[in-house]
Amino acid sequence: MRVLIIEDEPDIRDLLAFHLAREGYAVTKASNGAEGLRLARAAPPDLILLDLMLPEVDGFEVCRRLRQDPATQAVPLVMLTARGDEVDRVLGLELGADDYVVKPFSPREVVARVRAVLRRSRPAAGTTPVTVGPLQIDAAAHTVSVDGVPVNLTRREFDLLRALVEARGRVLSREFLLEHVWGYTAAGEIESRTVDVHVRRLRQKLGPAGPRIGTVTGVGYRLERDD
């Protein structure tokens, strides 16, 4: 598995690279946002570790561009940040980050987060395409279409849609979605709010021809049944 580290502090960059390589990961390093974008697009890695405070192009903009590019939009991304402000973490998650780690951190913690995100992002073996009305999901190919028209989803949006489809007609609470889609066994207001943002974006991308994602006030969300 290949990990791209985009971090401008050499000591942190080299420390993370050392611990990841020791765990068997192939590591590529970038010291600024522009270089990180170039490397990610040239050879999309299996996961990106992204610092927010970067020269040339900051981490938020890097994340935004990666999620807009079909070649990198599904690559799992873990943010590294020294910022403690809630708004920064919320923005990062809303832009499509899969997880975040606040500095100072233990390298072992980062490696554990990397392992967990990669495990969650790996499609199940032998998964066959699922069709729900005009919607078709192919987990193995990581593709979604509505009435035969491809829909470009981020990794997190794809996993969220898949969870709703598998539970079709049943209400899934925010807590359930956070645990099974995001991997948070204990989450706070930041993560709960980002579920709502991802559902809103998913509705927009599926459009009026796609299946309807209903809101159950005070509980969560469900994919409405047509039958």
Query: Which tens digit of pLDDT belongs to each residue from 34-76?
Result: 999 999 999 999 999 999 889 889 999 999 999 888 889 889 9
Task: Using a pLDDT cut of 90, give the percent of the chain over it.
Answer: 40
CA distances from 108 to 15, 77, 113, 114, 182 (A): 11, 17, 9, 10, 20
CA distances from 210 to 50, 62, 147, 162 (A): 33, 30, 8, 14
Place of tokens 């943002």: 197
The whole-model pTM stands at: 0.68
Residue 184 — pLDDT band, cuts 50, 70, 90?
A: low
Which tens digits make up the pLDDT trace of 80-134? 887 666 667 777 777 888 888 888 888 988 998 898 888 877 655 446 788 888 8
User: Please, what are the domains in the chain?
Assistant: 2-121 (3.40.50.2300), 130-223 (1.10.10.10)
Comparison of pLDDT for 195 and 140, the residue scoring more: 195
